[in-house]
Amino acid sequence: MKIIKTILGSLVIASTLISCNDSNNKADGYGNFEATETVVSAESNGKLLLFSIEEGQTIQKGTVVGLIDTIQLALKKEQLVASKRGINSKSRNVLSQINVLEAQLKTAEISKNRIENLLNSNAGTQKQLDDINGQINIINQQIQSVKTQNAPIINEIKSINAQVKQLEDQLQKSVITNPVNGTVLVKYAEPYEITSFGKPLYKIADLSTMELRVYVSETQLASIKIGQNVTVKIDAGETMKNYDGIITWIASEAEFTPKIIQTKEERVNLVYAVKVTVKNDGSLKIGMPAEMWITTNNQ
């Protein structure tokens, strides 16, 4: 009996040591890597005359990666420009009439000043002044009439200018320009396919820096803060590979533990999401599981 008690005591002690060792080597958070994914879509309709990207390719922001057929847009713009030239010629004729009338008005006003001086010197007559005033009024009415005729022409020119700008915008959007630095994740289209406005062309994400979304309990919140350095570990064969990470975001509200993180019994616990930014050396992939270790003692 004494021997049995001794064996049982040894087993309890061993079990306690193993339990303590497991507790000490438990990560402070578990999660998966994420990246901001951008879906680039077509902004005009037509055939993809050029589309030079491949999945896995790294592209810089501002790089031209494709071109949608712009022949119809260019022809329509040329037609509008030709129409504008014809309308401008009409407008110039009207403006020349206004210039002639304004010259006549200037001459009439000079004559009016001369007649007023003569009238002050008793060398002129009131009839002469009335006649020149009547002539000035007629010229002013003629100028207003011509300007009224020119108003629709000016409005038509403004309308054409707006249409030309609209076409220029469509022409510009027919050139597919990469919006962000990143790596092409998925390619949805091929050259010479017909595309339309809003149709996805490819998906891209910046993988140079990854975000690890982990979940911590309420009791762990006191030991973490934004800007804090942590250690991130991923599986690397039989060992773990370490990365330096920085906590960049902590959720303000609790949520139930996601199914992919914990067992069914532990999913009922409320946890807080935390984002850790990690510089990617090429080994980190979207969706890859990882662990977060808050203190260096746990490593």
Each residue of 94-113: pLDDT tens digit? 777 778 888 888 888 888 88
Is 90 exceeded by the pLDDT of residue 133?
no
CA–CA gap between residue 292 and residue 294 (Å, rounded): 6
Each residue of 193-209: pLDDT tens digit? 999 999 999 999 999 99
CATH architecture entry for 28-36+206-298: Beta Barrel (2.40)
Domain ranges of the chain: 28-36+206-298, 38-68+175-205, 71-173
- Measured CA distances, 255 to 27, 263, 269, 270, 295 (Å): 20, 16, 8, 5, 24
CA–CA gap between residue 271 and residue 28 (Å, rounded): 12
CA–CA gap between residue 182 and residue 117 (Å, rounded): 82
CATH 1.10.287 fits 71-173, yes or no: yes
Domains 28-36+206-298 and 71-173 share a fold: no
Each residue of 210-220: pLDDT tens digit? 999 999 888 88
- Are 180 and 38 a contacting pair, CB within 8 Å? yes
Say what the pLDDT of residue 14 is: 37
- Across the chain, mean pLDDT equals 83
CATH code, 38-68+175-205: 2.40.50.100
Please classify residue 178 by burial: count the beta carbons closer than 10 Å to its beta carbon, then call 0-12 exposed, 13-18 middle and 19+ buried: buried
